[in-house]
Every structure is written in structure tokens, then in C-alpha cells.
Amino acid sequence: MNEVTQFWENRSLKFGARIEGVLLKSVPENINKYLSSWMLEQVEGMIKKESDFKVLDIGCGYGRLSGPLVNSFPGIKVFGVDIAQNYVDLYNKNLSPAGKACRADSRDLPFKDNFFDAVFVVTALMYLPTKDDQSKAISEMLRVLKPGGKFVVVERSSLGYEIFTLGGIIGKLRGKKNLEIPAVSFDPKYLSAVIGKYGARVESLRGIPLFTIMFQVILVLSLINANIGGIFLNLIKLADQQLSKFYFPSLYISYTGEKNG
């Protein structure tokens, strides 16, 4: 078992189907809920309420995003793939029969060409260390997507991550507590170009710039008092909805688009 798989097996055993296993560790829950609902909004935007509408969740974890989808869009079929067997088991336990997952690597998807109506990958490409691996995963994602099918990719952005961690100072302060698996952040021009190279086009980029810039304030307020933190986060959310097209500088960027027909 390689290092990344081992890491995620351990993490899934430690956290189970809990949000901090797949989002930010050691932050108040309202912060992860904020991120989770923003990510879900990105994905929901591409789903059509059609029976037999097939969706693929790549690096699905325990089904944090697939779960709300099968609840909100009865009739669609959601498939998940993940390298961690324990996450696959949790996904199937919680979502079956509406959602079904199997153990597979994003670089080698066990599906036919042009099979899905929509595909998404949320914070999973970032664990592929080389550009070759990232390209392979994107080419696989687009291979299994039908022409005209929609995709959503949500990944960390390089500049946003620098701001979020105050140029690496936060990581140094956290010291050993910060021990995580290495993960990459993406330049949006680079990721959009790779998607373009494999026969799809990015139609919109969105972000959460104010959340990123204000993160340390949100964190302190939420630690002092969850209610005050929650009110502040709601204000940030309203502002970010207005600013979402300004994806610079955002910790995460969502790339949405379509496979060429």
C-alpha cells in the first residue's frame, strides 16, 4: 500500500464519516460546514433532475457530497471511487442503493468511455504529486464523461493557500501537529489548460476570497464564541456570494465546465 493510500485508510479509520476527516482538521465545526456547503453548491449546479442521470464522485471519501446529492435529486445514480477501502465501505453503508462506490485510483477509472452525465472531483487531485499523475487523472475524468457532460473540479489554489497559511507561518507554528500528507496547490491557469488539453472547456472559475483573507479572524471569533463566529461567517458568506467571480485569492477554486461535443 503506498503512502497516500495508507494515510487515507488511517484517516478514515480515525474520523469515520466525520467532516473533519475530509476537510480542515482542528477547526470549529461551523468553518468546515461553511466550506462544505460552498463545495456542495458548486456540484449541485450541474445536476439535472432526470432519471438515469449518472454522476461520478472521484475521491469520494465517505460520501460527504454524494450523500446530499442523492437526497436532493432522487432518481439520479451516483457512483464514487476512492483509494481508501474504509471510505468506500462507509460510502456504501450510508448511501447504498442510491449511491455506490468502489475502490479505484483516479488515474485508472474502471468505467467505459462517455458513461457519465456529470463528474466531479473535490480536493482529491491535490494528493497526486506529479503533473503527469494530475494529467492522467484529468484525462480519465474526461474520458468517462459524455460529450456535452458537465464537470466540477474543486482544488486548492497556490496563491490562496499562501494567504490562508500566512506564507507558511501557520504551518511552522503548528509544528508536529501539522504532520499531513504532502499535497499540492494549483495555479488556475495551469489546471484550466490541462482540462482544455483533454477535450473540455472551463466555463467558470469561482472562489471564496473573503473567507480566505479573513480566515484567521473567523477562527479566533469562532473559538471565542461559536455564535459570534457563526454570525460573522454568515456575513462573509453573503459577501463571498457577491465576490465569487473574484477567485483570486481564494483557498479553493471551483472549475466548472463542459466536455466538448
Ligand X SMILES: C[S@@+](CC[C@H](N)C(=O)[O-])C[C@H]1O[C@@H](n2cnc3c(N)ncnc32)[C@H](O)[C@@H]1O
Residues that bind ligand X (CB under 6 A): 4, 8, 22, 59-61, 64-65, 81-84, 87, 105-106, 122-124, 127-128
Q: Residue 218: which H helix or E strand, with range?
A: helix 215-224
What is the smallest separation between the CB atom of 7 and ligand X, expressed in angstroms? Answer: 8
**Is there a contact between 200 and 146 (Cβ–Cβ < 8 Å)?**
no
- Cα 110 to Cα 57, 81, 135, 141, distances in angstroms: 13, 9, 17, 11
Q: Which is nearer to ligand X, 50 or 180 (CB)?
A: 180
What is the smallest separation between the CB atom of 160 and ligand X, expressed in angstroms? Answer: 16
CA distance 22 to 157: 17
29-44 and 226-243 are packed helices; what angle lies between their axes, rounded to 10 degrees? Answer: 30
What is the smallest separation between the CB atom of 51 and ligand X, expressed in angstroms? Answer: 25
Q: What is the CA radius of gyration of the chain?
A: 18
Q: Which is nearer to ligand X, 22 or 251 (CB)?
A: 22
For 100, the 3-state DSSP assignment is: strand
What is the smallest separation between the CB atom of 22 and ligand X, expressed in angstroms? Answer: 4
What is the smallest separation between the CB atom of 82 and ligand X, expressed in angstroms? Answer: 5
* Cβ-Cβ contacts under 8 Å for 135 (sequence gap 6 or more): 194, 197, 198
Q: Which is nearer to ligand X, 6 or 225 (CB)?
A: 6
What is the smallest separation between the CB atom of 183 and ligand X, expressed in angstroms? Answer: 8
Q: Which is nearer to ligand X, 22 or 236 (CB)?
A: 22
Of 119, 169, 108, 110, nearest to 142 by C-alpha is 119
At residue 108, φ and ψ (nearest 5 deg) are -150, 80
Residue with cell string 468502489: 102
What is the smallest separation between the CB atom of 165 and ligand X, expressed in angstroms? Answer: 17
For 112, the 3-state DSSP assignment is: coil
E-state strands within the chain: 54-58, 77-82, 99-103, 116-122, 145-156, 200-207, 252-259
Q: Which is nearer to ligand X, 22 or 202 (CB)?
A: 22
